[in-house]
Structure 1
Amino acid sequence: MITFVWAEDQKHQIGIDGHLPWKLPADLHHFKKITYGHPIIMGRKTFVSLPHLLPGRKHIVLTTSLTLKNKYRDNKQVSIINSVKELQDWINKNRQQNLCVIGGNSVFNALKNQVDCLEKTEIMASFKADVAMTKINYDDFTLVKKESHQPDSFNHYYYDFLTYLRKEK
């Protein structure tokens, strides 16, 4: 199963300067809960934006960077994949697992017709950003879970955790 995991603001913005435009600790906790124990698929920019390798997850990185390939050559927690075709081959071999796609936009776009589950955090605010989420046809999905949350002393915005599953064809 392929699951997209992301957060977006009311304008569908997901990033600025290679980082999240907001601080929302509850979303980071939710992200960890969803992705822990599963491979996480991402592009180079998303990978380098991480503060460190995320424990309990294999990092699958789509990039042509020889620097990253050499740096992580012997690291069993990181696999560098050089092309969308090579990524597709890897996905086909590992489909029995829940594969979590965490960004960026080009990776979401490459896999949007194959995604089975959407795990979206919707933040009820607008932020300055330079990257918007890939357009997803929500008519192909059914909302199966919604958790609404109020602002608190750590999370300063209203936000919803939304889970969608692809409709049967």
Structure 2
Amino acid sequence: MGRIKITIIVAVSENGVIGRDGDMPWRLSTDLKRFRALSMGKPLVMGRKTFESVGSKPLPGRPHVIVSRSHSFDMPGVETVGSLGAALERATALAEQSGVDEVCVVGGGEIYRQAIDLADVLHVTHVETVVDGDTTFPPVDPGIFECIAETRIPAGEKDNYPTRYAIYRRRDA
């Protein structure tokens, strides 16, 4: 098997917001279904606060590697490490063991800021609204990432806003 890809999955508003008060500032059922399909069976890397925001229990069918500076953070069903580098190393080993070719970095803001320089692929759901929030995603640099696919998705009955789902690939990949 080839090199394990590092993939970021994120939903971001027009003004760069991805979170507010430890939660997402929208309800997007359509996007959550896509997230599940994209990440199923693949190791997830996320920060402690993001893990707590999804209910402090692992999402089914995906090994979790949690980044936490707290040595006392210990939750059943997940592995905890002290840095993004250690998380990616562990997640890569888990991906190789399970025969998948990518690991998914799924938040939050600080983890994304560190991971974007290492990512091969970005799955970005552009939420077509401006919202207030306290957590942001860095702008996608078109000099580094090329948009290779894009789909407009009207708001479904369980979605607050329409979205534009885009896949970006690192240009030097």
Calculate the aligned-residue CA RMSD, in Å. Answer: 1.9
Residue 20 (1) aligns with residue 20 (2): no
Gaps of 5+ in 1: none
Q: Which residue in the other structure is 1:139 paired with?
A: 143
Q: Which residue in the other structure is 2:49 paired with?
A: 45
What percentage of residue pairs aligned between the two structures are identical?
Answer: 26
Residues 88, 159 of structure 1: alpha-carbon distance in 2 compared, 3 angstrom cutoff: closer
Q: Which residue in the other structure is 1:62 paired with?
A: 67
- Quote the offset at 1:87 in angstroms: 2.8
Structure 1 window deviating more from structure 2 (128-137 vs 102-111): it is 128-137
Residues 86, 127 of structure 1: alpha-carbon distance in 2 compared, 3 angstrom cutoff: same
Contact 2:17–2:133 (CA under 8 A) maintained in structure 1: yes
TM (norm. structure 1) is 0.88
TM (norm. structure 2) is 0.86
CA distance in 2, matches of 1:5, 1:103: 8
The letter for the 1-side match of 2:118 is: Q
Residue 32 (1) aligns with residue 32 (2): no
Residues 93, 151 of structure 1: alpha-carbon distance in 2 compared, 3 angstrom cutoff: closer
Q: Deviations over 1:57-81 (max 9, x none)?
A: 0111000323422x33xx3xx1101
Q: Which residue in the other structure is 1:117 paired with?
A: 121
Q: Which residue in the other structure is 1:83 paired with?
A: 83
- Quote the offset at 1:133 in angstroms: 0.6
CA distance in 1, matches of 2:11, 2:49: 16
- Quote the offset at 1:120 in angstroms: 0.4
Q: How many residues align?
A: 164
> Of the candidates 86, 104, 108, which is equivalent to residue 104 of structure 1?
108
CA distance in 2, matches of 1:103, 1:156: 21
User: Runs of 4+ in structure 1 displaced over 4 angstroms?
Assistant: 91-96
- Quote the offset at 1:154 in angstroms: 2.1
- Quote the offset at 1:85 in angstroms: 4.2
